[in-house]
Amino acid sequence: MKKSMIFLTLGAAMIAAPVFAAPGGKMGNADGNGVLTRAEAQAHADAMFARMDANKDGKVDAADREAARAAMQAKRFASFDANSDGSISKAEWDQHGADRQAKRAEWKQKRAAATPEAGDAEKGKRHGMRGHRGMRGGHHGMRGGHGMMMKADTDGDKAISQAEFQTAALARFDAQDANRDGQVTAEERKATREAKRAEWQAKRAERKAQRAAAPPTAPAN
């Protein structure tokens, strides 16, 4: 199995792990005071690694990826198999579709019930989210997760040990801890987000300029 495929999948999982992708996240803040300490970041990294290490062999690799995929498929099957008889009948299939439609209708009603101002603001927020994290943004996020995983795998063995995972998580914590006081505050998290956003916008502008400056492609004969 190609190394890039292994890390793309595991990278996506790590993006969902706040301690790795954003160590100042609420999930790492055990006492709920809004300030993440280095000890909390380390503890959360260890807990997240334990969750990702499905077969408990002390590393996160392709075997864990397959286990996670199998678990996801089993969960999805169970959501259809209402009577848990190991098969999905047409009635269960239709019911699942009806439930989804009902949830969608409920969501639309809640959105319509919001004030126009709130609705417009929310729409703008969602549009911005799609622009930064949507189809293309999500793929960009996958590449970001891939890069994090590649950096974490310091010995190049296509697996992430607990020590490597913890080192990477704490390195990201230290990058956010601007004043080096051993804790990450809301202000430091905001500064990190703004710096990342500015970096992303600069790269986007650079790519746009490069495309504009590129000579037109000659038509095929």
pLDDT tens for the chain, 221 residues long, are 454 544 544 554 444 444 444 444 455 777 778 899 999 999 999 998 998 898 899 998 988 888 888 888 999 999 999 999 999 999 999 999 999 999 999 999 888 887 555 445 555 545 444 444 443 444 444 344 556 667 788 888 888 999 999 999 999 999 999 999 999 999 999 999 999 999 999 999 999 999 998 887 766 66
Tokens of 151: 């950096």
Tokens of 133: 């994290």
pLDDT of amino acid 130: 46
On the CB side of 182, how many CA atoms lie within 13 Å of its CA? 2
DSSP 148-203: HHHHH-TT-SSSEEHHHHHHHHHHHHHHH-TT-SSEE-HHHHHHHHHHHHHHHHHH
pLDDT of amino acid 154: 85
DSSP state of 36: E
pLDDT of amino acid 151: 78
Rg (Cα) of the chain, in Å, rounded?
Answer: 22
Cα(209)–Cα(92) distance, integer angstroms: 53
DSSP 107-134: HHHHHHHS-HHHHHHHHHHHHHHHHHHS
Cα separations in angstroms, 19 against 22, 27, 100, 206: 6, 8, 32, 30
Cα(64)–Cα(69) distance, integer angstroms: 8
Reported pTM: 0.55
